[in-house]
Amino acid sequence: MRLRTIATLTSQAVRNLKRPTCMTTTVVVMACMLALSLFTLVAVNLTVIGRQLQAGVELRVFLLPDAGPDAVASLERSIRAIPGVSRISYVPKDEALRRLEAQLGDENGLFIEDMPYNPLPDSFDVSVRRADEAESIARRIQELEGVEDIVYGREMVRNLVGALRVMWAATGAIAVVVLVGASMVVANTIKLSVLAHNREIETMRLVGASDAFILFPFVVEGLLIGVIGAAVASLMVFAAYSLLIRWIGSAAPFLKLVADPAWLASAALSLVGFGAVVGLSGTIISVRRHLRVDVQDV
Amino acid sequence: MYGVTKVYPGDVVALDDVYLTVEKGDFVFIVGQSGAGKSTLLSLIYRGTVPTRGQVFVDGRNIVRLRRREVPLLRRKIGAIYQDFKLLPDRTVYDNVAFALEVIEAPPKDISRKVSQALEMVGLSGKATCLPDQLSGGEQQRVAIARAVVNDPLILVADEPTGNLDPETSNGIMALLSDVNCRGTTVIMATHNQAIVDRMRRRVVEIEAGRIVRDERQGTYCHEA
Ligand SMILES: Nc1ncnc2c1ncn2[C@@H]1O[C@H](COP(=O)(O)OP(=O)(O)OP(=O)(O)O)[C@@H](O)[C@H]1O
Ligand SMILES: [Mg+2]
C-alpha cells in the first residue's frame, strides 16, 4: 500500500474513534492497564526490596575440627566452584571467637575469657546470589568432605521466596486477564464498527477494494484504542508514582523504591506496547469473524 | 458462460442452464420480465454471486474458482452500475467516483483529472461536493455511472442504468455508453426501456424465468413477428 493511501485510511480510523463506544472502550482498556501497572509496580518493588534482604543471606559452613590447611583450601575451592555462590571467606576459630566477644560486649566477654579452650569450629561465610538458591546450594555444600554443619535463615528465605512467587503469579494472572478481557472488549467494539459499516464494506468490495484496503481502518482503530488507553494509563501511573517516590523519600527514606528513570520509561513503553497487542488481537478476533463473509453473501 | 444454473436459497431457480458468449467490444441488451434473472446474470460477471452449476469465463479466465484475493482484481477490470446504485453514503459525489480509482491507488493527479471528466460526462460537475442523500434518484444513478466508467473498464455491466431517468437524460446516458463502447469497452446492459433497445438495434438477449429464449444480432425489445 502506498503511503498516501495509508494516510487516508488512518484519518478515517481516527474519525471512527470519536464514536462514544470507542471512547468507552478506550477508558475500559485504560482501567485494565492501570490495574496491571499497579500490580507490576508492587511486584517489582517487593522484588527489589527482597533482593536487598537476600543480599544478606549467608550460609555459615562449619568445618570438622581436625581439618588441616590443605583440606580447608580445597574445600574453599570446591564451594567457590558451585554456581550461585557470590562470595566466600574463611573464618578461623580464633576470629570467630573474637567476633562473638565483640557481639556479646564487655560484661559477657569476661565469661569467655574464663573458658579453658576455644569451643568454636573453623568456618566459612558463604554469600549466595539469590535467596531461592540458598537451599540447594546448602545441600551441595553439605555433601562435600570436611563439612560438619550448615546454618542459615531457612524460614526467612523460604517466606521471602514464597511471597515473591505469589506476587509475581498474581501479576502474571492480571496480565493474562487484562490481555483476554481487554481484547474481548476491543473485539466487541470493532465488531460494532464493522457492522455499522456493513453496507459500505459491501460496496467497497464491489468496486474492487482489496481486503487489506477494507481492513486497514479497523486495524488502526483497534490499535489506537489499545495504545491510547495504555498511554493515558501509564501517564497517570507515572505521575502518581513520581509523587509517591518523592513522598517516601522524605517520609521513609529507608525504603528504597525503584526510581531509575530509564527503567520507568521502558516500563511505560512496554505498557503501551502491551496496549498495542491488546488492541490488535481484539481487532483480529473480531475481524476474522465478521469480515470473512464470502462473495455469495454479498 | 457455460451451462450456468443459479439456485438461490429456498430453491429459487434464478438461472437455468444458461449458455451465453459475449465477444470483446460487443454491446448487449439483456431484456426480460421483472424477476426473470437479469440482475443475477449480470452479477455472475463481477462475481457478485457464484453459480450453483456451470462455469463463467471473463477475459479468458474461469472466475468460478477464484482465490479470495483475486476477486478485487477481477472487479477492477469491470465497471458496474447497480440497480440500487450502491454509493457510499458518507462520501461526496466526487469522493464516490474517486473511490474506484483510490482502490487501485492511482496517482492523485490522475484521480482528479479523470473524476472531473467523468462527472462532466454525466452532467454532475456542479454537484461534486454533495452527499448522495442530497441528490435525486436520477442524479444518484448518474454518479453510479460516472464511477463505473471512470477507470476505463474492460467490461461495463449496467443494471437498468436508465431506470430512473427521463427520456432526454436517458438518451444522454445511452450516448455515453455507446461512446464507452466505441473505445473498446464491452457493454452488457439489463433494461426494461423498449424505446432505447428498439432505436439502438444492437444484440438483444431475452430471458424468461431463468432461460434464454431469444438472442438476436440486431434485435428489438419485443420479438419481431
Ligand atoms: N439474493 C437472493 N436470494 C434469493 N432469491 C433471489 C436473490 N436475488 C434474486 N433472487 C430471486 O431470483 C430471481 C431473479 O432475480 P433477478 O434479480 O435476477 O431478476 P431481474 O430480472 O433482475 O428482475 P428486475 O427486472 O425486477 O430487476 C427472482 O425470483 C428473485 O426473487
Ligand atoms: Mg434486476
Residue ranges and CATH numbers for the domains of chain A are 3-53+161-297 (no CATH), 58-151 (3.30.70.3040)
What backbone phi and psi angles, to 5 degrees, belong to A125?
-100, 120
The domain B24-43+70-216 is classified under which CATH number: 3.30.1300.10, 3.40.50.300, 3.40.50.12280, 3.10.20.30?
A: 3.40.50.300
Contact A134, A57 (CB under 8 A): yes
Q: What is the pLDDT of residue A154?
A: 62
pLDDT confidence band for A98 (50 / 70 / 90): confident
Q: Whose CA is nearest to atom 16 of ligand 1?
A: B37
d(C-alpha B121, C-alpha B102), whole Å: 20
pLDDT confidence band for A10 (50 / 70 / 90): confident
- Whether residue B225 has pLDDT greater than 50: no
Q: Model-level pTM?
A: 0.69
Range with the poorest average pLDDT among A290-294, B9-13, B93-97, B111-115 = A290-294
d(C-alpha B180, C-alpha B163), whole Å: 19
- Whether residue A133 has pLDDT greater than 50: yes
- Which residue has 441488451 as its cell numbers? B29
CA proximity to B42, closest of B73, B4, B70, B76 = B4
Q: Whose CA is nearest to atom 1 of ligand 1?
A: B8
Contact B209, B216 (CB under 8 A): no
Q: What is the mean pLDDT of residues A152-174?
A: 77
d(C-alpha A127, C-alpha B73), whole Å: 70
For residue A298, list chain B residues with Cβ-Cβ distance below 8 A: 48-49
Q: What is the ipTM of this complex?
A: 0.85
pLDDT digits (tens, 9 = 90+) for B144-200: 999 999 988 999 999 988 887 788 888 888 888 898 899 889 999 999 888 888 888
Q: Tell me the helices (H) and strands (E) count for chain B, helix number first.
A: 7, 11
Core vs surface per residue A89-119: b (16+ CB within 10 A) or e: eebebeebeeeebeeeeeeeeeeeeeeeeee
Task: For chain A, give the percent of residues with pLDDT over 70.
Answer: 87
First to last CA, chain A: 25
- Ligand 1 site residues (CB inside 6 A) read B 8, 12, 14, 32, 34-40, 83
Identify which has the larger pLDDT, B113 or A85: B113
Report DSSP state, residue B221.
S
Contact B161, B186 (CB under 8 A): no
pLDDT confidence band for A298 (50 / 70 / 90): very low
- Whether residue A79 has pLDDT greater than 90: no
- Strand bridging mode B203-208 / B211-216: antiparallel
Look up residue B177 and give its three cell numbers.
Answer: 455508453
d(C-alpha A166, C-alpha A174), whole Å: 12
Q: Whose CA is nearest to atom 19 of ligand 1?
A: B35
How close is the Cα of B159 to the center of ligand 2, in Å?
Answer: 6
Q: What is the pLDDT of residue A12?
A: 76
* Domain positions in chain B: 24-43+70-216
- Whether residue A102 has pLDDT greater than 80: no
- Whether residue A112 has pLDDT greater than 70: no
Range with the poorest average pLDDT among A22-26, A115-119, B59-63 = A115-119
B38 alpha carbon, closest ligand: 1
d(C-alpha B128, C-alpha B186), whole Å: 28
Contact A60, A125 (CB under 8 A): yes
pLDDT confidence band for A109 (50 / 70 / 90): low
Look up residue A179 and give its three cell numbers.
Answer: 490481555
What mean pLDDT, rounded, does chain A reach? 80
Q: What is the pLDDT of residue A294?
A: 45
- Whether residue A47 has pLDDT greater than 50: yes
For residue B80, list chain A residues with Cβ-Cβ distance below 8 A: 206
Q: Which atom of ligand 1 is nearest to the CA of B43?
A: 18
Read off the amino acid at residue B77: K
Identify which has the larger pLDDT, B94 or A129: B94
Q: What is the mean pLDDT of residues B103-125?
A: 88
Q: Element (H or E) spanning A287, and its range?
A: helix A261-290
Q: B204: number of CA atoms within 13 Å, CB side?
A: 24
Nearby residues of B125 by Cβ (< 8 Å), 6 or more positions away: B116, B119
Q: What is the pLDDT of residue A295?
A: 41
Q: What is the mean pLDDT of residues A287-291?
A: 68
